[in-house]
Amino acid sequence: MAALIAENFRFLSLFFKSKDVMIFNGLVALGTVGSEELFSVVAFNCPCSPARNYIYGLAAIGVPALALFLIGVIWNNHTWNLVAECHKRGTKNFSAAATFLLFGSIMGRASVAPITWSVISLLRGEAYICALSEFVKPSSLDKFPAENGAEVLAKFPCRDVPANLTKFRDEVTRRLRYESQLFGWLLIGIVAVLVFLTKCLKHCCSPLSYRQEAYWAQYRSNEDKLFRRTAEVHSRILAAKNVKQFFGFVALDKEEKELVQEFPVEGVQPSPQWNAITGVYIYRENKGFPLYSRLHKWAKGVEGNGPTPEGHELLFLAS
């Protein structure tokens, strides 16, 4: 049981696998901060009306965060690798715990931008004040006029209040901004603790040494760059051949002519080969030698995604 738990926790290595991931997350966070600032200046406008404030304030925080979360899920390559894996092979190679951790890894990566948005919104406080001003209890305000209620409190974020209520508006605004910023700092603290624990678990459960893990990260990066570059050239040459066959000639610039002459393309890869290199990859060792990707495994002629008598597969997810 302990061994199974240890194997499954190796999926947590998806987070902060390399410096590239940390840089990307930082850029996402900075971009989100800039977007939130722009939104607050240009778009945010509290209605200052009972029942509308609450909906508008929560929507100003939640809807952009939801949109950023969905965009993060869509942009994550692991999302589509998982879709391809389920479509082509099912989830028979994953335990329930491993599947849960895989989903958690995708969701966690996609949460960088929405969490940043929520934190900045809470630290600014405008949306929180707009949403909750009407719910402040008049009895909690010293000498607040009894004839005024939620309808007047809802106008406090817009500063459209009688002169005799100015001091109450300042007190309500200060109180709600304090609560909003407190929740923002607490959210930062919770996220920081979770990231710290994740990195600790990742390093404790990793079956690889630090140097081999760094090499694996470099290999994945180089393989991806070379694959994309080669695929772009291959598709261009193939397209040129097909266009030439249709028209009898093809208009190529100097660089493209050199590519066609240097790299002869005879055909396309069959679908089984594409399927073999597509999907979720779990770190595998075959006869003691590591296989760093699905492409690497295909090139070595290793079939399947499960353990074999001559190979050993570790539940260690590639990022």
Q: What is the mean pLDDT of residues 81-106?
A: 71
Same domain as 225, residue 143: no
Q: How many domains does the chain have?
A: 2
Confirm if 102 and 94 have CB atoms less than 8 A apart.
yes
Distance between CA atoms of 155 and 178, rounded to whole angstroms?
19
**Residue 176 within a domain:** yes
Same domain as 121, residue 67: yes
Q: Which of 52-61, 111-120, 159-168 has the lowest mean pLDDT?
A: 159-168
Backbone angles phi, psi at 212, to 5 degrees: -70, -35
Same domain as 245, residue 104: no
**Residue 275 within a domain:** yes
Give the pLDDT confidence score for residue 33 in this predicted structure: 58
The two tokens of residue 73 are: 């899920």
pTM for this structure? Answer: 0.70
User: Where among 171, 205, 239 does a domain terminate?
Assistant: 205
CB-based burial label for 96 (10 Å; 0-12, 13-18, 19+): exposed
Same domain as 176, residue 270: no
Same domain as 273, residue 230: yes
Same domain as 163, residue 47: yes
Same domain as 200, residue 239: no
Give the pLDDT confidence score for residue 303 in this predicted structure: 67
Could you give the maximum distance between any two Cα atoms of the chain, in Å?
90
Same domain as 200, residue 75: yes
Same domain as 294, residue 160: no
Same domain as 81, residue 147: yes
Q: How would residue 252 be classed by pLDDT, with cut points 50, 70 and 90?
A: very high
Distance between CA atoms of 314 and 98, rounded to whole angstroms?
12
Residue 3 has pLDDT above 60, yes or no: no
Same domain as 187, residue 54: yes
Q: Where are the alpha helices (DSSP H) in 93-165?
A: 96-110, 112-124, 126-132, 150-153
Same domain as 54, residue 200: yes
- Determine the structural domain holding residue 77 and report its residue range: 43-205
SS3 for 312? strand
Q: Mean pLDDT for the chain?
A: 79
